[in-house]
Structure 1
């Protein structure tokens, strides 16, 4: 079930250039030169390894003369790498988000009782990795909605 607008919190990171909406309960946890992490924190202000969290990171830069085909190929290659992570592949979806190429891979890691929602995206000269994890299967659709909500902001 998709969240309604009132069930969402808007976040923006100058470091990644990504505007995103996440379910209520997520907070901005850390931000550095190329990444930001959002998570649902417990009463002690910490996020455990199985708690819902999302890490967005600029993982590469494209050459000035990179074509749309080059950017799409890089997104697909990063998603192929995600698909190679140890675990059960649940699905893969390639789509345009804010008119930019993205590819999402979902995996189950039974050894860690963890679900991974891994997205590769390109915007302008940036290649981005969006890694979300949870132990709650219902969160996967929330992560899909979050990725669909992304707006890339030119900095």
Structure 2
């Protein structure tokens, strides 16, 4: 018996990410052809290094892909990659033909594209230390259409003070 797991059902189910019980049970990763990914939302504008991709590919080869990529259907059998470009590049390096993906079924629109860009910019700014080039590319993506964010919006998304912008 593991005392840490014994009373799991008695816990309140909350976390820093919200209620754990609110997970979307309908979200299932499906294999999609890598060749069907025809567009990539790359907010930072910089690919991971070849060395990083090789390390990721080796890890995927050893333990499998732990986090599927996220795509949006273009409605014509092709997909726009929303999250997971390094994982896509690693799969290509491994010579794989498909990749597990969560498919966002919403119709692809400029508004949805802007939502994806803002979400990816926020995640990148909070998750990793962006280089100056990545920061400038991200600010540029946020201020141009389809996002057209104001200076204040960019600052909130990227957690940058107004004076920096």
Length-normalised TM-score, structure 1: 0.26
Q: Which has the higher strand share?
A: 1
Higher normalized helix content (fraction of residues): 2
TM (normalized to structure 2)?
0.25
Larger radius of gyration: 2
